[in-house]
Amino acid sequence: MTATSDLGAARPASPDLLRSVFRRHPAGVAVVTARGRSGPVGFTATSLASVSAEPPMLSFGVSTGGSSWPAIAETEHVGVHLLGEHQQALAATFARRGADRFGPGTAWREGPEGVPVLDGVPAWMVCRVTARVPAGDHRIVVAEVLAGDPTGHGRPLVYHQGRFSGLPD
């Protein structure tokens, strides 16, 4: 062990520090959907994580400034989809402010509990929201998995260094 003075390049926290760290942290790419009062909503999330095995639960973050928040704030159920490396355009659509996310370029159907389920994804789940935890400018949504299909085709899409890509074979 050496002294704290050896901690070299440590710098105080800032949004920029957080961004610099997480640019180096690869993440699978998900799209979260819900049935809103005036139609389906959804957004791309790189914060999806498995939380608990018994009962099966997951979490993801949602910006309270985004277009999906009003629906996510009051919905009982959400759809959670893992995107494949062939779905980069879909990931971009669900991340772009003002995009027509459920337009002609998005194939979907109504799934269990009325949640929008996207076609052609490697895996999807329908979940019941159990908590929306305030955390700065976001909420952490905690949800229990009700049903799902892990058998879709495709290798995963990965977000890293601000870009979407695939994984090595």
- Among positions 76-95, residues that touch a copy of itself (CB under 8 A) are 82
**Residues 6-65 close enough to bind a copy of itself by CB under 8 A:** 6-15, 17-28, 30, 46-61
* Out of 72, 78, 111, 164, the residue judged to bind a copy of itself by CB under 8 A: 111
- Distant-in-sequence contacts of 101-106, Cβ < 8 A, 24+ apart: 101/40, 101/41, 101/42, 101/43, 102/39, 102/40, 102/42
* Out of 42, 146, 162, 164, the residue judged to bind a copy of itself by CB under 8 A: 146
Residues composing the chain = 169
Q: Are strands 77-82 and 123-135 parallel, antiparallel or unpaired?
A: antiparallel
Strand partners, 128: 77, 144
Dihedral of alpha carbons 90, 94, 100, 101, sign: positive
Q: Rank residues 99 and 140 by Cβ distance to a copy of itself and give the closer one.
A: 140
Q: Rank residues 99 and 142 by Cβ distance to a copy of itself and give the closer one.
A: 142
User: Please, are residues 156 and 84 in contact by the beta-carbon 8 Å criterion?
Assistant: yes
Q: Rank residues 52 and 89 by Cβ distance to a copy of itself and give the closer one.
A: 52
Shortest separation between residue 127's beta carbon and a copy of itself, angstroms:
8
Piece in contact with a copy of itself (CB under 8 A), picked from 31-39, 69-77, 91-99, 156-164: 156-164
**Token pair 């074979």 is at which residue?**
169
* Out of 36, 70, 120, 149, the residue judged to bind a copy of itself by CB under 8 A: 149
Piece in contact with a copy of itself (CB under 8 A), picked from 4-12, 31-39, 70-78, 92-100: 4-12
User: Please, are residues 116 and 108 in contact by the beta-carbon 8 Å criterion?
Assistant: yes
Strand partners, 127: 78, 145
Shortest separation between residue 155's beta carbon and a copy of itself, angstroms:
8
